[in-house]
Structure 1
Amino acid sequence: MQSKNIDYLLILRGLASIGVIFGHALTYENYAFYKVLENSTSLIGKSLLSIYPMGGANFVLIFFVLSGYLMGKLFFNEKYTFDKENLLRFYKNRFFRIAPLLYFNLIICLIFFEQSNPSFLQIIGDFFFFNNITGRNINLVTWSISHEMQYYLLAPFIFLFFNNLKSSANMKLFKYGLLIFLFFISLHFTGLNYMYCFLAGFSINYFLLNKEKIDNKKLNPLLVLLITFTVSNLFFYFFYNSNNDFTARIILILFIMCLIYFLERINFKKNMENKFLQGLMFLGKISYGVYLWHYPILVVISNYLIKYISENSYGTFIQDSIIFHLMQIISTLTLTILISAVTFKYIEIKFRPTLYKGINK
């Protein structure tokens, strides 16, 4: 039997995609549970409100850091070189990784999603990856795709610039200093104001450069991943809910950078046939579809449930809120995962047949 490698970064991607669903579901108006906590005078209620998941943007930041690292890794590992043929191959592969499912999703939303009401300019922005400039009104979560594609456009040149700098101690210091400078500049640069996430991920490659893997058979990587993922996002919400968005983002990104470094630097005990880990990896494989499909599905289900519960109250607002979220999240997760699995097989894989093939070696 052919063994399967466990890709913990893929698991991280899958967890982030589920996090986005929870972030959007738990803040959906009318019966959102945070309204219960806002009226609470108890210490427990106030404490829970301080870390309540107000949205899912933090999980998108995790996607961005991962993309920054992985795109940089492709060039550091010389899967692509900086010549015309390889650049065209890189851009072609990135386009066919992102565009087919995105276009299918946008067309479906334009036809069937009642909340989709874009202007012509917004449609152009969505289909040509600059809706961070035009605005978007088809599937609201596609804002991140434009930032992703714009980073792909720049990634080879970022690598070329930093790779061509001499590797003396002073030049290494200059590289790190320049990355930090660009990191903070991009925080405030309209249009590219998420580039700092990609740069943070890209910089991990420098810390791993020429480093041999460390064997460690005792540490449980999944446990480390889950703890770091949970703690970092709780810290994010604590600062974000306190109107300290800058601190929230910086702390989250530093946590995720350390986690990626840890997962890439350590050789763990093999768990090749662990079905639970294989399931989490599959969630990572379909995470792009989960991200695209969850929002229209969530809106349709939530609006139906709001109408249903308003006509058939279960008692108090707390009871209605709990029932609402249970039905909302279970239904959204089930439908989203099913549809994402189908579109992964019949759209994503069709356009990129070698997608994730290297994992099963």
Structure 2
Amino acid sequence: MPQAVTGKKIDTLLIIRGLLAIAVVVFHSATMHENTTAFINIPGRTAVWMFFGISGYVIGYGFFTERYQFTKKDLGVFYLNRFLRIYPLFLLLSLLAWITGSLASGQSSLHFKDVLPQLLMFQFNHDYMFSRVFWTLGIEVQFYIIAPLLAAFIMGRFPYKWFLLAGVYFLFVCWVPFAFYLFGQSFDGRNLPANLSHFFIGMLACKLMLEKKLPAINKALLIIIILALLAVTNYLYAHHIDYYWTAGSVTIDFIILLCVLLHKEVSGTTYGSKNYLLRAFSFLGVISYGVYAWHPYFIQYTPQIERKTLILILVSVSAAFLSYQFVEKPVLSLKGKRRKAGFGN
């Protein structure tokens, strides 16, 4: 994925990822205990849906700009790089949680039959014994499998293309209530079909941006609209949950589109080396995966800090920094070395 700053350029979407990771930590700490008001709470699900949208944008960008082409070699590179991005930290934290849980209980919670669903993510409705947030990683990995097909479809040339793409998005949106009424599935869909609309809108937004079909809007106005819509969806989650899973979900897709529009408006903007706040937010985006992945481990195995939100944030960010430096960064450097031999991001 794109780095936080190249030549001190602001990467808005990466900064948003970092802020969303912190929002998830706050939600699992303070919000759970009603320490903040509904309008400013960002539910964990809102952050996850926005993560999915940004992921759709990033993956789409790789194909739409021909960083990856639809060849056997490039697709192999794409899947390898996605594996290097997700699995090292996932496996590290799964191993750590398994050891910690086994020592605490005196017996292993992992059996041979669990390897495929728990470690290789062979699940439909995702549920992981080692971390309550890893269900999102399972969906993310399964999205990677079909992402080239979605990208090829969006890049296709056919009559009334954008009307057709809008129709496909509408079908993805309709799947959740359809699956609820026909199959009895929960609105809290922890599977790929229930979340495809968010990935897809991110890919569509990327394509619209690259084709210069997104309008120019004042950055301050965009931020105000995004925050206002977030406040509305936060309120729906707290007081009208049924509307949150339907209208709220579509609203968040619109927020994803607006975030891409904001990203376009800020693109090319640079900042000085002494702007420590932007540098901190940018690096927070870089380690956002770690912040998101570490915090439930601390909540589960050091429950005394669950209600101490600032401490939970600090230890999660610290652990994410260390795992980025000593696990993620060394592994991700393989992508850079391979890129010189034809491997891409």
Q: Which TM-score bucket, shorter chain as reference?
A: 0.7 to 0.9
Q: Deviations over 1:40-75 (max 9, x none)?
A: xxxxxxxx3x53738411111110000011111110
1:210 maps to 211
Q: Name the larger-Rg structure.
A: 1
> Structure 1 residues 153 and 188, CA, compared in 2 at 3 Å: closer, same or farther?
farther
1:97 is matched with 85
**1:140 partner letter:** R
Matched, 1:157 2:149: yes
1:131-179 CA-partner distances (Å, limit 9, x unpaired):
453632111110000110111111101111232233x5x2332233233
The worse-fitting range, judged by mean Cα deviation, of 91-100 and 272-281 is 272-281
Measure, in 2, the Cα distance between the counterparts of 1:226 and 1:297: 33
Match of 1:321 in 2: none
- Residue 117 of structure 1 and its aligned partner are, at CA, apart by 4.4
| 1:134 to 1:251, Cα distance in 2 relative to 1, 3 A | closer
Residue matched to 1:232: 229
Match of 1:185 in 2: 175
Q: What residue is the counterpart of 1:296 in the other structure?
A: 297
Deviations 1:308-334 (A, max 9, x none): xxxxxxxxxxxxxxxx84xx1121111
User: In structure 1, what is the Cα distance between the partners aligned to 2:237 and 2:143?
Assistant: 25
| Partner of residue 259, structure 2 | 259
Name the SS of the counterpart of 2:129 in structure 1: coil
> Is 2:88 aligned against 1:126?
no
- Counterparts in 2 of 1:184 and 1:226: CA distance versus 1, 3 Å: same
Q: Which residue of 2 aligns with 1:140?
A: 132
One-letter code of the match for 1:207?
L
Q: Is the 8 A contact 1:6 1:272 kept in 2?
A: no
Task: Provide the C-alpha distance between the structure 2 equivalents of 1:230 and 1:214, rounded to a whole number of angstroms.
Answer: 19
Among candidates 165, 175, 185, match of residue 175 of structure 1? 165
The separation in 2 between residues aligned to 1:215 and 1:176, in whole angstroms, is: 21
The whole-number CA distance in structure 2 between the counterparts of 1:271 and 1:290 is 25
Determine whether 1:107 maps to 2:79: no
Separation of aligned partners in 1, 2:90 and 2:237 = 30
Change (3 A) 1:100 1:134: same
Task: Work out the CA distance in 1 between the residues paired with 2:270 and 2:76.
Answer: 37
Question: Which residue among 329, 332, 341 is the counterpart of 2:312?
Answer: 332
AA matched with 1:339: A
Which residue in 2 is equivalent to 1:13?
A: 17
Is residue 23 of structure 1 aligned with residue 27 of structure 2? yes
Q: Is the 8 A contact 1:73 1:205 kept in 2?
A: yes
- Taking only aligned residues, the RMSD between alpha carbons, in angstroms, comes to 3.1
CA separation in 2, counterparts of 1:228 and 1:81?
36
Deviation at 1:205, TM superposition (A): 2.3
Count of paired positions = 314
CA–CA distance in structure 2, aligned partners of residues 215 and 201 of structure 1: 18
Measured in 2, the distance between the counterparts of 1:225 and 1:175 equals 25
Contact kept? 1:14, 1:287, Cα under 8 Å: yes
CA contact 1:61–1:197 (8 Å) conserved in 2: yes
Counterpart of 1:69? 57
Change (3 A) 1:350 1:184: same
Return the match for 2:331 from 346, 351, 355. 351
Q: CA deviation at 1:227?
A: 4.4
- Cα 1:15–1:215 change in 2 (3 A) is same
Distance in 2 of aligned mates of 1:7 and 1:111: 37
1-structure distance, mates of 2:89, 2:73 = 25
Segments of 5+ residues of structure 2 without an aligned counterpart are 1-5, 180-184, 186-190, 340-345
Is the alpha carbon distance of 1:304 and 1:172 closer, same or farther for their aligned partners in structure 2, counting shifts above 3 Å?
A: closer
CA distance in structure 1 between the partners assigned to 2:262 and 2:46 by the alignment? 20
Structure 2 partner of 1:284: 285
Q: Is the 8 A contact 1:126 1:142 kept in 2?
A: no
Contact 2:21–2:288, Cα closer than 8 Å, also in 1: yes
- Rounded to whole Å, the distance in 2 between the matches of 1:225 and 1:347 is 37
Identity of aligned residues (%): 23
Shift of 1:181: 2.7
Contact 2:62–2:68 (CA<8 Å) still a contact in 1? Answer: yes
Distance change in 2, residues 1:109/1:298 (3 Å): same
Task: Using the TM superposition, name which of 174-183 and 138-147 deviates more.
Answer: 174-183
SS in structure 2 of the partner of residue 97 of structure 1: helix
Task: State TM-score, norm by structure 1.
Answer: 0.77
Unaligned stretches of 5+ in structure 1?
Answer: 38-47, 306-323
Q: CA separation in 2, counterparts of 1:146 and 1:280?
A: 27
- What displacement does 1:269 show? 4.3
1:65-97 deviations in whole A, cap 9, x for unaligned? 000111111100000000100000000000111
Whether contact under 8 Å (1:214, 1:266) holds in the other structure is no
The verdict on how the C-alpha distance between 1:354 and 1:206 changes in structure 2, with shifts beyond 3 A counting, is: same
Q: Equivalent residue for 1:88?
A: 76
SS of residue matched to 2:194: coil
